A and B are shown apart, each in its own frame.
Chain A
Amino acid sequence: MKTVHTFILLLGFLIGINSIASAQCKTFTKNDCKPRLEPYIYNGQLNSAVLNEGDIAELMLTFYSNQDYRIVVCAAPELGKIVFRLVDEKGQELFTNKDHDFTETWDFRTKSTQQLVVEVSVPESNTGELIKSGCVSILVGFLDKQ
């Protein structure tokens, strides 16, 4: 009976940790990532998750013609240098931050409307330590051109 109680307590503790991690992710996104969008207008959609090293996340979105966009990929520092790529619907790589010192912010200007994918990869550390995990957010902003 005591073992069952212990088990239930531990399970609740772990589920609680998960919720706390999610809430911290939102706070991290709001405080650390969102300011990097300015002066672009945030599209208002929270794209954040707790990822482990080696994980990939994707954001599917549409860039409209003659519009300027900013993409901010923000990650907990312990995850290392995050790779983000912009890929079109045909798989053509339009941008990779590997070519720009793993920058977390980049601006885009589109001539025609198209469906795009922002692909974010968390590097594997290969250090043999416990698997690292942390918050990763992808934020999108557009310019008010009026």
Chain B
Amino acid sequence: MKHLKILFLLVFSAFIVSSCNNKKETQKKDVLSFDSEKELDNEKTVKKVFFNLPSPIEITQTILATKSAFNQELLNPVSNLSNYSSSSDLALNFGVYGADLCYCRVYDQLQSAIAYLAVIRKLTTQLQIPEDAGAETINRIEENIGNRDSIFQIISETYSEADGYLKENDRELTAALILIGGWVEGMHFAVNLQSNQNNQALISSIAEQKYSLENLISLIEEYKDNGAFAEIYPFFEKLVLVYSNVTITRDKSVIVTDQDTKITSIESETNIQITKEQLNEIKNLIGEIRTKIVS
């Protein structure tokens, strides 16, 4: 009888723990509300949904590909580090300074990159990311700062170690804040470079961030009432409104798969429509969000 009671408690507990986890993660897949042209998919139950944003390396490489000139004045000064004390400020600016590091490295500004690397090291400590998760890879960045081939792999490792550690320790909000800080800084580069250079490739790149903004909103929606987002979330909502009027149409993709190289090419033509007014609004909103993050 005693064993039966223990068995019952075991099964009941398993049910409770499992239900709590499933409640958080299970969701029905709805039509993506951002674009009314999307077709309704077959309704199915999805256990887990992940939302990824472009990494700072990817953002700064995209900017480099538009042949925009480097602009030192766009960087967040390292001296601002002393202004940040709350965990949300530290996390957001970890993302900002990470983007600054990538921007400097992509444009071969090695001395500046080293300065931002020192800032990243301090922020890793302040965010209580353990040495084995952060400092070791930062040391490797330092040793390889001049080697382009390995440096981006190592920078991505720094981010992945921090991201993995934070998620494993139920600090998903901090992980999200780092991503958002990096995204905002990347947009800050793009919108300010564009206004000085009137670069069509950059304009397209800015317009196409409509997609990553969609993922960003999904990522932070559950935290929108959290103090860390209270000041900046309304600006993101306004950004969504502006982008809802930016039109990106794409032909049906032509898929070509090479069985030997195991590469699938996805080819389609895109038509982007974004006005100067929309670009200015995006620039202003990004400016306001960034100011709140870095000041």
Contacts and interface: CB of A to CB of B under 8 A. Distances in A.
Interface of A: 3, 6-7, 10-11, 14-15, 18, 22-23, 26, 29-30, 34, 38, 41-47, 49, 51-52, 55-68, 86, 88-92, 94-95, 100, 103, 105-115, 138, 140, 142, 144-146
Interface stretch (B75-83, B257-265, B282-290): B257-265
Given A43-B55, A64-B58, A112-B250, A10 B164 contact: no
Interface in B46-75: 46-55, 57-58, 61-62, 64-65
B39 A110 contact: no
A26 B255 contact: no
A4 B235 CA distance: 50
B168 A47 contact: no
A62 B160 contact: no
B52 A108 contact: no
B163 A88 contact: no
Interface string B33-51: 0010111010011111111
Interface residues of B, number: 73
A84 to B, nearest CB: 12
B156 A64 contact: no
Contacts of A23: 168
Contacts of A22: 168
A38 B14 CA distance: 39
Interface stretch (B111-119, B212-220, B237-245): B212-220
A108 B264 contact: yes
The 3 closest A-B pairs by CB, nearest first: A44-B159, A112-B270, A113-B208
